[in-house]
Amino acid sequence: MPDPMAADRPLLVLIAGPYLSGTDGDPVRIAANRERLEAAALPIYQRGHLPMLGEWLALPIIHAAGGREQGDAVFHAYQYPVAERLLTRCDAVLRLPGASRGADMDVARAQALGLPVYHHIDELPLHQAAEGAAA
Containing H/E element for 60? helix 54-64
Residue 39: per-residue pLDDT:
98
Containing H/E element for 27? helix 27-39
Residue 92's SS3 state is strand
Q: HSE of 52 in the Cβ direction (CA atoms, 13 Å)?
A: 22
Domain ranges of the chain: 12-121
Residues 101, 24: contact at Cβ < 8 Å? no
For residues 89-106, give the mean pLDDT.
97
Residue 70 has pLDDT above 80, yes or no: yes
For residues 51-65, give the mean pLDDT.
96
Which tens digit of pLDDT belongs to each residue from 7-43? Answer: 789 999 999 999 999 999 899 999 999 999 999 999 9
Confidence label for 1 from pLDDT (cuts 50, 70 and 90)? very low
Residues 91, 51: contact at Cβ < 8 Å? no
- CATH, domain range 12-121: 3.40.50.10400
